[in-house]
Amino acid sequence: MKEPASTLRLHQVALPPAMLLGLVVIRLIYLTFYAPGAPSGVQSLELHLEAQRGRILDRREAVLAMDAPRYQVVLEYPPIAHGGDPLRRAKWLEQVDEILNPMLGVSAQEAARNWPDTWWRLPIAKGIPEDLARAVSRRVEEIGLRGVRVLPYWQRVYPEGPLLGPVVGFVFFGTDHNGLEGRQGAAGVEKAYDAFLRGKPVILRVPVDAEGRPLPLKEEALAQPEPGGEVVLTIDRTIQAIAAEELARGLQESGAQRGDVVMLRPRTGEILAMVSLPTFDPNSPETLDRDARNPAVQDLYEPGSVFKILTMAAALEAGIVQPETRYLDHGCVEFGGAPICNWDRDLFPGGRGWLDMTELLIYSRNVGAAYLARMLGPDRFYAALHAFGIGEPTDVDLPYEATMRVRAYGDPDWREADLGRQSFGQAVSVTPLQMAVAVSAVANDGLIMRPFVVREVRTADGVWRIEPRIRRRAISVQTARTLREMLEAVIRQEASKARVPGYRIAGKTGTAQIPTPLGYDPQGTIASFVGFSPVEDPQVLILVKLDRPRRSPWGSEEAAPVFSRIAARILPLLGVPPSMSRP
């Protein structure tokens, strides 16, 4: 039989309201502290009722983040906490330990050593399951032990653990811009969509007795917090898991220190997967900084030869070359007073002779990229980089996106040599996401889409659907389709380890040196591959990046196989049929 309403809330040793109501509805959640001071004689206390934070779901409605009810045991003893008799306090703590220590395995006396005199409430055990919380509450009530309370609270739970840590983010306890204490998003979607997720808490004035103890409240006196909204991602949990599994395998086999995978739909900008390893577990926020990183969005690197895709696109768009245009490839050339050499200059010290534009990409000629940049000139080259979004944020709906100014013609620190080096991906920095978005324009008939990770927000006021948005046109439809055919030839003739049986693949490898304060590191590289499929109607683009692989430094050897394995597994999942021609 349910207790009378007058005893449901805030009696001296109270079962949590949710427990008394059989966990049918859990809406009344207490923060850890009522107030940071409650001396005898005050008329009321401020009680914060925290709202249930909204769920985060993947595109198929799998739960990625949710609030779960948990319980804590707190000590309340105002007369002692505020200058009362120390002996009386010590005796009371001994009694508390006799009861709670066997049940909880914690020492109230030890916990109270650093109990500030300005606090009248001290939590000594958190995360208690419901059955144990019931047992503690019953035992305390049986013996009439005053000053011990079992209270509920919301705990943020991430069922997928570290799988989506950097994307989903985590929460921490803090104070918002209105001065209200509570949980706030600290990273990822939790931070970017905090205003929708956090809901609306309630602050009550609770009457107290002469010793500062809360008095019972009637049910009708209690306002209810408004739960937060739900956020639905574009991320597919299954595809994310495949990408994480294959990236982990790639790291193990190559000996690379870390790696990233970004996967998106070129036609819409939807991010299907975003993986960085090593990663973090959002279920352990106490071990994390508030700005725990999402490297795919926050970490800059020099992309190397994948950048030649953009240089070639600029040259084709300007009409200065066609796929069949030929140039004389030397092993090294001088550009702005600095030497530029091909990666295989030891094997071909004099270069490979006459090559056409497709062969420039197939053999990844640094000298050829510099040749295109010289013909374009700085004005057209940097205008093309701007069109692809290089040097500016992508406007992705995730926090802390990094961007780096591209040193360009007219800047006081620009040198002519920069033009040559930037043509093949040196002296320019991007994030993995920025590089993926730029190349996606080739797959999307020249259009740059805004990348986004949240597809839908559901609140009490309705449903907000995020629609794809075109940012700009980078190149013409014809240039994009011509370049797709050229990049398919790269896979057929050079990057064979990126092939996927039955599908037409287009892409480019990258092997980038790593800049240091003393110049480029002679030992380590960043091996990468970016590609999309099917060539005739690109449905997905995948970028793979491996930092400092030890087995081989080359993107064609280490990153391309990771791309191939991911693509082979996810293309059927996306409903993409095998290509009908030119497999």
Give yes or no for residue 121 having a pLDDT over 90. no
Give yes or no for residue 338 having a pLDDT over 80. yes
Span 387-445, pLDDT tens digits: 999 999 999 999 999 998 898 888 898 999 999 999 999 999 999 999 999 999 999 99
Residues 118, 120, 126: CA angle, nearest 5 degrees: 115
Q: Which pLDDT does position 179 carry in this prediction? A: 65
Span 357-397, pLDDT tens digits: 999 999 999 999 999 999 999 999 999 999 999 999 999 99
Q: Are 470 and 417 in contact (CB under 8 A)?
A: no
Candidates 2.60.40.10, 3.40.250.10, 3.40.50.300, 3.90.1310.10; CATH matching 5-233: 3.90.1310.10
Q: Are 436 and 264 in contact (CB under 8 A)?
A: yes
Identity of residue 218: K
The answer to which of 9-18, 35-44, 336-345, 531-540 has the lowest mean pLDDT is 9-18
Fold adopted by 237-278+293-573: Beta-lactamase (3.40.710)
**Structural domain spans, the chain:** 5-233, 237-278+293-573
Q: Which pLDDT does position 210 carry in this prediction? A: 62
Q: What is the mean pLDDT of residues 277-293?
A: 88
Q: Which residue has the higher pLDDT, 180 or 42?
A: 180
- b vs e for 524-545, b when ≥16 Cβ sit within 10 Å of the residue's Cβ? bbbbbbbbbbbbeebbbbbbbb
Give yes or no for residue 571 having a pLDDT over 70. yes
Alpha-carbon distance values, 438 to 269, 313, 316, 444 (Å): 11, 11, 16, 10
pLDDT bracket for residue 286 (50, 70, 90): confident
Dihedral sign from CA coordinates of 479, 485, 489, 490: positive
pLDDT bracket for residue 544 (50, 70, 90): very high
Q: Which pLDDT does position 120 carry in this prediction? A: 64
Q: What is the mean pLDDT of residues 453-477?
A: 97
Cα–Cα distance between 417 and 375 in angstroms, integer?
14
Give yes or no for residue 503 having a pLDDT over 80. yes
Span 408-424, pLDDT tens digits: 888 898 999 999 999 99
Span 194-240, pLDDT tens digits: 999 998 887 777 776 665 556 666 655 566 788 999 999 999 999 99
Give yes or no for residue 14 having a pLDDT over 60. no
Give yes or no for residue 556 having a pLDDT over 60. yes
